[in-house]
Structure 1
Amino acid sequence: MIGKKLGGRYEILERIGGGGMALVYKGHDLLLNRKVAVKVLRSQYVHDEEFIRRFRREAQAAASLSHPNVVSIYDVGQEGEVHYIVMEYIEGTTLNDLIKEKAPLQVEDAVHYAGQIADALDHAHHNEIIHRDIKPHNILIGKNGRVKVTDFGIARAATSSTITQTGSVVGSVHYFSPEHAKGTNTGEKSDLYSLGIVMYQMLTARLPFLGESPISVALKHLQEDVEEPRKVNPLIPQSVENIILKAMRKKPEERYQSAKQMMADLDTCLSPDRRNEPKVAFWDADGMDEERTLVMPAIRANQLGDFKDEEYEKPSWREEPAPAKRNGWIKPTIWIVILLIVLGGMWYLVGYVKSMFTIETVDVPNVVNKPLTQAQAELTAARLGWTIELDKVSKLPKDTVIRQDPTGMRMNVGTKVTLYVSEGVPKVKMENFVGQKINDAKLKLQALGIKEDQITVVPGTTEDTPDIIQKQTPLVGDEFEVEKAAITFTISKAKETFKMPDLVGMTEKEAKDQIAKLNLKLAVNAITREKTYKQPKGKVIDQFPYKKNQDVSAGLEITSLIISDGLPEDAGQLNVSIPVKPTEEGKDSEFKIVVSDAQYDNFEYKTEKVTKPQNLDVKVIVSPDKKAVILIKEGDNLVNSITRTYQDYLDQKSGKTTSPNPSPSPGTSPKQQTSGPAIPAGGSGNGQTGGNTSKPGTGGGN
């Protein structure tokens, strides 16, 4: 069933429990995206109409109830021969498991659980539903402590006329009410009797009635008085013992009249004024009734004649009987012998007939944790049969009996015992991970259930691509258990990387020394030379393929290193004299010269302090398509700008004089000058510069 989808909607995830009639699985509702419990009728009962009716009756009975202490029914269906009920999934445990683990429970906890069960029963009884199988196995306790009553598999409406089925009763014999055991009508008070037994078991860690067979237990429910709970556990308050004793009275009329009445008693039983109340006493009407019905032997007809003979004496004149004949004892003796023979034959006949109808019972041996073959041999020796249910969840070795049903009781010869057998811990084959990324391999293994700490990674050799698996243990095809797996991968190491230095602006020798120092390679024909405005002659213009700050490792090759061969032939050099004067003569004024020309972009050419009017000399380079712009700043204020074009260079070369821009007076705006517009640093366009500030090289060509 694991992995199967019922109704195209409910995916079966794992088995979480089961009973004599059905198995319970944890499932996922794909439509509503929630966890559900799916109860599936056992396969051996799918053709039994009575079990199918009982299975459907559970869904009908529970679905008619809506209460916080009753497990909700979501859906019921059939797919092929699979009959299933979808119900609320409760994260927690059963009361039966809690009793096994912690009983006797704290009085407060037991009363709290019993009060919630009584509340659920009150709701069910109000809707005319009698549960008829209240026991710890059918009580779920969520992680929040809320009690949920489940398994209405043998519930009947309160108006149902009988609980017998072909002379048998249905239910759990240890929790039977006396009227349930007799096969008579069961009502609300039968559920309260069962609840009393559940309370008894919670507080004493034992059942009130035990026996060698279900029949002997049922007879004790009818005939024997229960041992008082306080004799078993003196810590139980008298008020709580009174509730248990009243709920377990053999006569229904002496019990609580309703679940609501019992719930009200549970709500107040632990109050200080009730804990030491007097022990409850019940009126025994039989001992006080003189006219009660008695069992007396029947009066035979000849006894009446005997009384008459005693009333009248024989007349003195009556004749005496004649003396008996000789050998008068022979005839009676013969009749006695015949009578004894007849009685012996009848006795033998009764024993023979009784043996034909009496079914022999044997003790069920305990075969849990034994190999399957040994378990089968022991059951065969005990004249019992078996059926096998495979369990995929158990971690025990393969073919080991993990549990059996039933256990610890007597059964009829030939009855089959259900053995739940471990399929063993599944093993998986190791696949080939060599050549794969270590993270990909880990994800695949974790999908199989292998944990991170079961995987060991050791470094291998250095490769171009890091984190690639080079070796693995176990080897390909080896089988291993998931929980015991110890996997080792040897992976490639990454080459050590560093940031590529900026070679631009270095001399050829400095660049070669830097490349050799970093264990990089320089290609044979890597060095080329070209004219440029950007770097002085002999300085590096560009590097390829690795730029500044790129990650590189030792051994990589520089394929191109471009060296400046000086300025182009058409480059024009101009000397510009810039007049400046301080804001206030005699006091220092700091002037900053910023140049943008064919060689530099926004280059801070010089900064000088002046105390009197003077000229500052600036050298610029122009090209046919790039003019020079000189910005003069006093502090952060632009006070002047001078532009020189390639035509100015040609005029100077031909002997024409280029007069400087007039120096503005302090506070004069550059827009008032006639030598040309003020061009901000970073300007672009025809004759303008754009881009980032470049540092000047040393030893520039002329």
Structure 2
Amino acid sequence: MLEIGKKIGQRYKVIRLIGTGGMANVYLGHDLILDRDVAVKVLRFDFQNNTDALRRFQREALSATQLVHQNIVSVYDVDEENGLQYIVMEYVKGTDLKKYIENSGKVSPQNSIHIMNQVLSAMALAHQNRIIHRDIKPQNILIDEDNHVKVTDFGIAIALSDTSITQTNTLLGSVHYLSPEQARGGMATTKSDVYALGIVLYELLSGKVPFDGESAVSVALKHFQEEMPSIRKEHPEIPQSLENIILKATAKEPIDRYQTCEEMLADLDTALDPSRENEVAFIPASMLNETKVMQPITPPLKKEEMIPTEEKTPIYSSSSSENKKESSVNNQKKKKRGPLFLLFSFLFLAVFVISYMVWNNREPEPVMVPDIVNVNEDTAKRLLEQENLIVGEVFEEYDDTISETFTIRTEPAVGSSVPFQSEVDLFISLGKKPTTVESYLGESYSDVRDRLKELGFVVERLDRYDEQEEAGVIIGQSIEDGTDIVADGEMITLTVSMGKEAFTMADLKGYTKVSVQDYVDQYGLDVDFIEEASDEIAEGLVISQSISPQSNFTRGETITVTLSTGVAQAEYVLFSKTITIPYDAAIEKESSDKKESSSESNESNKDDANSAQSIPKSNHIVVSMQDADHQIDEIFREFDISKDQEITLNFRIIEGEKGAYQVERDGEIILEEKELTK
């Protein structure tokens, strides 16, 4: 990138970078000789040795210098310095049409027509000079503060006769504005530019492109596979006549589109006429052909379906003869020892029964309940069983001295003498009785603190600013309400409101809208922006504020900030004038008579002259107009007629001023009108 302050060609001083592109950077420069701002387009260093990039860069300079038009960016100088290729162009103070659409959301039909009129006028001249732009998009259309449009960036433009450039299978231009024939890899023509102009008109009116996708390839496919979406479905206020212009310009087949930019311009001029209110929707001629119904293809049989399935034969297994013999021997042994086993079992059972009856008839001695207070529950049960006592029911209750799961007491009590195998009930501690925490939100901190301390809590205070509650009111607690907890020494944190936080207001004069928004977001303020003109404060900067600097404010307040719109802009008036340009065949006849008298008189030449007079000749028409966007000494439209032709002129004048127009026919002013107003 170039250094700021560097001089190029000892004449152009670099002020700042204003844009970057695929192969060039654009800087704001100042012409030190003519004392004017210029745009300097410099080929990037990494493309200095790229022959294709150099050719494209030089082609842009050549194309632009051939086109002198009020709606095409002028080229002032083309040069090279130390291997650095650069173009010096007219600097347009404003923005490109893409950003203009983003800021506007969508553009009104009247203003869209005004903008497209200027673009079409520029492209008509380019096509007349046999130059195809090939990269028409809003980014390459500049618009200044007075709504004056200029087309730029002819970097990939080609001459219609240029056959040395290979275009097949190459996508040049922006994919969102690419014509179907270019997307298929075909040659670009003037009809390709017409298609892109139709997409630009769609984007102006709707605020978005008609086709979008995740990749460039998917978008390119949509251009020749999908129909153009109807703009009136989302925006029914747009007249059908205007949608028809989009549909005709973006027809899939080039033959269905406008043949020239002049034809599209003429159609656009009358789009809002009342006579076209009930216009039917445009249908391309190529879509009126009969649709053929394709027969479905029957899929072939699968290989598995052609081969029959074989039957499976089950497999059986048999037992060996050796296993049968072994089983027979074991059965004979079991039969021999069966009676002896039954005799010994009967004798053992008789001895056991006699012994049990003797032991059971013995008188047991009483036992003492062991001391199992403050003993773990499992240990207490084991100690009772060791003393031949039975554990009865187990009860649980809270106790402030005995730990949880330990025995509080027994029933009968510890030390009591009880019969052998008596039941003893256990009372097991649940620990200290818990306190159910309540919700203390909205209560006074001092009152709640005293209550919690009496319950045994340790109370911690945490102060915080709050926009809703007054100072001293509880706005949060560390233990949720409904929680059961033993209060003995347990800490609970209470968050207490300090009221609204107060801040000191800064002086916002000189802030931009973005800076103001960042400031109010930081302090939780609501902001209302208003605008007014100012001769002293630059556009976009703060003029005044409703909360004075150095005064106090709190979150949630509303501040009103007044932004400057710069010097008051003039109000514009829009109106149209329809005129009929008369055709004059006598002009050509008179010209033919003069040629006949000056030529050598022979009979054959006279016959040729008479036949030439019978062929109608065209009149060459030049139209000029005077308004906020045009000067009367500049050509607005130039064309030929062979019959009377009606055209509509759209004027945009500053309120209080007048418009004018002038029509020349073959060099002679035939129509002229001044002092025009709405």
TM-score range for the pair, normalised by the shorter chain length? 0.3 to 0.5
Question: Structure 1-normalised TM-score?
Answer: 0.41
Question: Structure 2-normalised TM-score?
Answer: 0.42
Instruction: Pick the structure with greater CA Rg.
Output: 1
